[in-house]
Homo-oligomer: A and B are copies of this chain.
Amino acid sequence: MKITIDLVAERAGVSKTTVSRIMNGNFAHTRDETKNRVLQVIQELDYRPNALAKGLKSSHTNVLGIVLSNLKNPFWTVVLEGVEDACRHLGYNLMICNSSEQAAMEEQYIKEFQMRRLDGIVINPTARNLELYTKLAASKYPMVVVNRRVPGLDVHHVIMNNMKGATMAVHQLLHNGRRNIAAFVYDNPYVSTWKERVDGYREALQGSGRSPEELRILELELEGGTAKSTIMRYLGEHPEIDGIFSTNNMLTLQIIEAVKEMGLKLPEDIAIVGYDETVWSQHLDPPLTTIMQPGYKMGYLAAQMLIKSIKAKRKPKPETIVLEPELIVRKSCGAVRS
């Protein structure tokens, strides 16, 4: 025998309307005596209302969806923590999906979210489903884009100031006397964050009087595990390089490995500044200088913003929040050279 609202009503000798009201904290229509009797029965039966029925009727589920690109990168687990906390504080549940940077999976998950009638979604977009995003935005489906910019898409954004972070990283290297600084980046042209970091690198160097010819930008394959060997080859061809700006925390690990394997010393021969502070940054050899981003805050704000926009009667104008990075100086960027 399934435990439904009808059963509760029957046992308590009232109609399901009354039970429903009490379940939803609406006590205006029932006297205390009745209320307590119903509450008692609910307790005894350990009744759990069917969220599907509730959602079907009321057309909202109190569930948010998030699709992100890589759960294995600790940056995202921190963001997730922020999203989770906001959801918990504001009474929402969360459905988490992993696009693995693949447009097809992203599309599938978003459609799944819609079919399940999730109240809204947070997305770190692959930036490859422009048509879908636009349709979503046009249909007023509550949505917040995080971390990456999707140009021309008029929805809420919570993003990071990547130019600033990159500039800080490069300036730190320059400050420590490095003269031939390279920037290493994964070769995915859709990821605006990486692009912006390279732009920041470019700007910082040119701003300090370097000519465009002195720019050393190396693009590495994201897949296939060829990154390390490519790095070694590149460093072999450019022995003048004495500083590296790494635009991604996973990439940084590969760079360190490559440099060590070449017998070069860190930070004496080559100084490194990496993007994204992680649990391991301070434990590496040498401890890593990094750009720290407020991931938790980004997640929290995004969820908060999304929920606000869900609850709003009239949809608010899309807003963009830009969060500022911070430089954490450790040994890997080298000391000031005399």
Contacts and interface: CB of A to CB of B under 8 A. Distances in A.
A115 B78 contact: no
Contact of A77 (B77, B279, B285, B286): B77
Contacts of A94: 95-97
B280 A115 contact: no
Nearest to A135: B46
Interface string A93-108: 1111110000000000
A116 interface: yes
A84 interface: yes
Interface in A65-118: 71-72, 74, 77-78, 80-81, 84, 93-98, 111-112, 114-117
A256 interface: yes
A71 B283 CA distance: 20
A48 interface: yes
A51 interface: yes
Interface stretch (A32-40, A52-60, A165-173): A52-60
Contacts of A81: 71-72, 98
A50 interface: yes
A63 to B, nearest CB: 8
Interface in A271-322: 279-280, 282-286
Contact of A52 (B49, B55, B284): B55
A95 B256 CA distance: 36
A119 to B, nearest CB: 12
A221 interface: no
A304 to B, nearest CB: 18
A147 interface: no
A246 interface: no
A257 interface: yes
Nearest to A111: B48
A115 B48 contact: yes
Given A71-B80, A72-B78, A280-B283, 16 more contacts: A48-B114, A49-B115, A52-B117, A53-B56, A71-B71, A74-B74, A93-B95, A93-B97, A93-B116, A250-B279, A253-B279, A253-B283, A256-B283, A279-B280, A283-B284, A285-B286
Q: Which 6 A-B pairs have the closest CB atoms?
A: A285-B285, A280-B280, A52-B56, A96-B96, A51-B115, A51-B116
9 contacts: A51-B115, A51-B116, A52-B56, A52-B117, A56-B56, A72-B78, A256-B283, A283-B284, A284-B285
